């Protein structure tokens, strides 16, 4: 069963809630817009988006861990190789690098195009991004020549966390942190 749009309860450990979590009521010096969660939005840095609750209604404090479908049924890792009852609730985000797709119209053949992208890590600041033009067999600065190719990027954080080539399977598809391959044709 997938999450619904009903009121969301996302339990957070007290150490996280009292750490870097933000209650946002303004954005760029103006009241928070409705489409960003007005009147108040909870922002939980480095955690998956589900933890950053929009349209915050109330905050419950408990001496015992709280449970909700957002921490018991969803946003956990199930399937091989995870525990039979699922992993602990997902907290930190996975590596997220990737190339930006060119805007319309598509890039013209026979011209030089710059590939751009972004990379971030919830584990530590990004130290480097490796680029491959041969589907990951080698990683280096890209210098493409004619023909089909597969481009990809891989992120390394300052703490030496390196983005994996493949994601660990889970049946709900969360925390897909693997390198993403982009088939391209170089003319």
Rounded distance, CA 183 to CA 133, Å? 9
Diameter of the chain measured on Cα atoms: 64
The model's pLDDT over 55-85, given as tens digits with 9 standing for 90+, comes to 888 888 888 877 777 777 777 888 888 888 8
For the chain, how are helix, strand and coil distributed in percent, rounded to 5? 5, 20, 70
Where do the DSSP E strands lie in 81-146?
98-99, 117-118, 126-132
Rounded distance, CA 186 to CA 150, Å? 10
Rounded to two decimals, the pTM is 0.54
Compute mean pLDDT per 10 residues along the chain, 187 residues long, and list them: 58 87 92 87 83 83 80 80 84 71 71 71 71 76 54 77 82 77 65
Rounded distance, CA 154 to CA 129, Å? 5
């Amino acid at each position: 069963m997938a999450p619904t749009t009903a009121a969301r309860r996302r339990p957070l450990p007290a150490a996280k809630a009292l750490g870097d979590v933000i209650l946002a009521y303004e954005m760029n010096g103006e009241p928070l817009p409705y489409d960003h969660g007005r009147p108040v939005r909870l922002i939980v840095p480095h955690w998956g988006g589900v933890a950053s609750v929009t349209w915050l209604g109330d905050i419950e404090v408990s001496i015992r861990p709280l449970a909700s479908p957002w921490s018991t049924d969803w946003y956990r890792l199930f399937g091989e190789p995870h525990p039979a009852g699922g992993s602990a609730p997902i907290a930190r985000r996975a590596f997220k690098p990737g190339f930006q797709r060119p805007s319309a119209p598509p890039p013209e053949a026979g011209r030089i195009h710059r590939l751009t992208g972004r990379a971030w890590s919830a584990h530590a600041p990004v130290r480097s991004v490796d680029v491959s033009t041969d589907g990951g067999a080698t990683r280096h600065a890209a210098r493409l020549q004619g023909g089909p190719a597969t481009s990809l990027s891989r992120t390394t954080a300052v703490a030496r966390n390196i983005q994996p080539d493949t994601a660990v399977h889970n049946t709900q598809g969360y925390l897909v942190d693997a390198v993403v391959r982009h088939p391209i044709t170089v003319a």
